């Protein structure tokens, strides 16, 4: 029986995790729940799963992680506010099932220095796919990682054709049902840029050996190419319950959690190169990833401000990445990477992004 704490329990990741656990009550016990603001929704979950320990907000979630005895902490919080709970889970020796990519990306060396080998289990479908494929060889045999991207709702459009994109169009993702920030990030490919940084931090593969390819069907979730020329891909229908189940019970699989592909039906999978001119987020993310330190935090914070401004009608769609790139260019890294310097850097990045948005 694995004791699980779920952070972000009323969000997309949290509710799907509870779907998995609901189907296997003999295998998992929920011992803690935390939500961002939906107190009533969390209370209903706590009643169903007989959970005594709950928390509201990131600060309470961090304390919950420190106080509750658990085997696994599933961090499904959205945004860099998930850093505190991530650090608390690692410091407490819990397995961290990580859906909150921002905490790893922003925390960088602060997070990786705390993590024991295998303590962080990725929940993003792409990184779960890579973790599964990596079991086919040794680290020394890995030539490169290939992250797949659906291409979002604007696949195939030129930069000029993106100029008039509306918030409603940016939220019309063809495959995944996600929140406002993540869905918008998927449309700009900022999400894929963050995932490149995450892949580097999780698996220790150099940025030059991490590629992104557009795969509209979202069936092949990512691939690992080995030095003998073979490529191992993980394929399944787009259903987050599969990587979530692996995250909370790694390395074991939970039978029946998802439907397999139907190999009796004719189908086609396509792969296309990434258009860096129309979607410069991945190249920018690699640049900030190589710079390290507080640069990824600046990238993430400025983007969150720009996305909010876009949805509020204060910024055009192409302006999102323009603002982010400008804030990154203006950043001067502090002497040391600490939790305090990250907080101050994020505060600066958000204020600088707001200033640039107001001036446009």
What string of DSSP letters covers 263-300? TTS------EE--TTT-THHHHHHHHHHH-TTHHHHHH
Residue 15 belongs to a domain with what CATH number?
3.40.50.720
Provide the number of structural domains found in the chain: 3
Average pLDDT score over residue span 216-227: 96
Evaluate if residue 203 carries a pLDDT over 70.
Answer: yes
Domain span holding position 85: 2-123+240-249
Same domain? 339 vs 359: yes
Same domain? 55 vs 128: no
Residue 256 is assigned to a structural domain of this protein: no
**Residue 104, both tokens:** 């790893």
What local confidence, expressed as pLDDT, does residue 182 receive?
A: 84
Residue 257 is assigned to a structural domain of this protein: no
What's the whole-model pTM score? 0.94
Same domain? 113 vs 158: no
Same domain? 172 vs 320: no
Residue 288 is assigned to a structural domain of this protein: no
Q: Which long-range contacts (CB under 8 A, 24 or more apart) does 320-323 make?
A: 320/184, 320/188, 320/190, 321/188, 321/190, 321/280, 321/281, 321/284, 323/353, 323/356, 323/357, 323/360
C-alpha 158/C-alpha 171 separation (Å) is: 19
SS3 assignment, position 8: coil
Residue 232 is assigned to a structural domain of this protein: yes
Q: Which of 133, 95, 88, 123 is nearest to 195 (CA)?
A: 123
Same domain? 299 vs 245: no
Which band of pLDDT confidence, cut at 50, 70 and 90, is reported for residue 176? low
In percent, the amount of the chain with pLDDT more than 90 equals: 94
Average pLDDT score over residue span 277-306: 97
What local confidence, expressed as pLDDT, does residue 78 receive?
A: 86
Residue 42 is assigned to a structural domain of this protein: yes
Which band of pLDDT confidence, cut at 50, 70 and 90, is reported for residue 311? very high
What local confidence, expressed as pLDDT, does residue 244 receive?
A: 98
| Contact assessment for residue 130 and residue 203, using Cβ atoms and an 8 Å cutoff | yes
Same domain? 98 vs 173: no
Same domain? 128 vs 118: no
Residue 218 is assigned to a structural domain of this protein: yes
Cis ω before 251 (30° cut-off from 0): yes
The residue to which tokens 């779960």 are assigned: 128
What local confidence, expressed as pLDDT, does residue 28 receive?
A: 98
What local confidence, expressed as pLDDT, does residue 90 receive?
A: 98
Which band of pLDDT confidence, cut at 50, 70 and 90, is reported for residue 162? very high
What local confidence, expressed as pLDDT, does residue 201 receive?
A: 97
| Contact assessment for residue 248 and residue 28, using Cβ atoms and an 8 Å cutoff | yes
pLDDT tens for each residue of 66-118: 999 999 999 999 888 999 999 999 999 999 999 999 999 999 999 999 999 99
The residue to which tokens 């656990």 are assigned: 21
Same domain? 17 vs 156: no
Same domain? 192 vs 244: no
Same domain? 151 vs 268: yes
Average pLDDT score over residue span 275-304: 97
Residue 284 is assigned to a structural domain of this protein: no
Same domain? 89 vs 186: no
pLDDT tens for each residue of 43-62: 999 999 999 999 999 999 99
C-alpha 175/C-alpha 149 separation (Å) is: 11
Find how far residue 247's CA is from the centre of its chain: 13
Evaluate if residue 280 carries a pLDDT over 80.
Answer: yes
C-alpha 90/C-alpha 110 separation (Å) is: 11
**Residue 64, both tokens:** 């919950």
Evaluate if residue 213 carries a pLDDT over 80.
Answer: yes
Residue 344 is assigned to a structural domain of this protein: yes
What local confidence, expressed as pLDDT, does residue 175 receive?
A: 65
**Residue 27, both tokens:** 């295998």
For the chain, give the mean pLDDT. Answer: 95
Same domain? 268 vs 298: no
Residue 336 belongs to a domain with what CATH number?
1.10.1740.10
The residue to which tokens 């658990």 are assigned: 70
pLDDT tens for each residue of 21-44: 999 999 999 999 999 999 999 999
C-alpha 257/C-alpha 128 separation (Å) is: 15
**Residue 285, both tokens:** 């993310």
């Amino acid at each position: 029986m694995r004791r699980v704490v779920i952070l972000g329990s009323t969000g997309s990741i949290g509710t799907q995790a509870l779907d998995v656990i609901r189907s296997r009550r003999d295998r998992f016990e929920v011992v803690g729940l935390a939500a961002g603001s939906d107190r009533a929704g969390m209370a209903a979950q706590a009643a169903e799963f007989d959970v005594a320990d709950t928390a509201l907000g990131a600060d309470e979630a961090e304390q919950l992680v420190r106080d509750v005895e658990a085997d696994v902490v599933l961090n499904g919080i959205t945004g860099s506010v998930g850093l505190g709970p991530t650090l608390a889970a690692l410091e407490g020796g819990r397995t961290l099932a990580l859906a909150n990519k921002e905490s790893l990306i922003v925390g960088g060396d602060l997070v990786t220095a705390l993590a024991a080998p295998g303590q962080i289990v990725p929940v993003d479908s792409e990184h779960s796919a890579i973790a599964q494929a990596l079991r086919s060889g040794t680290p020394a045999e890995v030539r490169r990682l290939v992250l797949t991207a659906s291409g979002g709702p604007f696949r195939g459009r030129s930069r000029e054709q993106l100029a008039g994109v509306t918030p409603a169009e940016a939220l019309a993702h063809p495959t995944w049902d996600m929140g406002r920030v993540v869905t918008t990030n998927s449309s700009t490919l900022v999400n894929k840029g963050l995932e490149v940084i995450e892949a580097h931090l999780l698996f220790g593969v150099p940025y030059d050996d991490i590629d992104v390819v557009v795969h509209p069907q979202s069936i092949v979730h990512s691939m690992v190419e080995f030095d003998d020329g073979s490529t191992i891909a993980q394929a399944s229908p787009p259903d987050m319950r599969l990587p979530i189940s692996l995250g909370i019970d790694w390395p074991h699989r939970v039978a029946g959690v998802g439907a397999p592909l139907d190999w009796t039906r004719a189908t086609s999978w396509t792969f296309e190169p990434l258009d860096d001119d129309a979607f410069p987020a991945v190249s920018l993310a690699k640049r900030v990833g190589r710079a390290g330190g507080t640069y990824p935090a600046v990238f993430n914070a400025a983007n969150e401000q720009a996305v909010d401004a876009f949805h509020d009608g204060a910024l055009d769609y192409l302006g999102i990445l323009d603002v982010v790139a400008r804030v990154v260019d203006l950043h001067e890294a502090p002497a040391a990477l600490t939790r305090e310097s990250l907080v101050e850097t994020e505060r600066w990045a958000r204020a600088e992004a707001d200033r640039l948005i107001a001036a446009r």
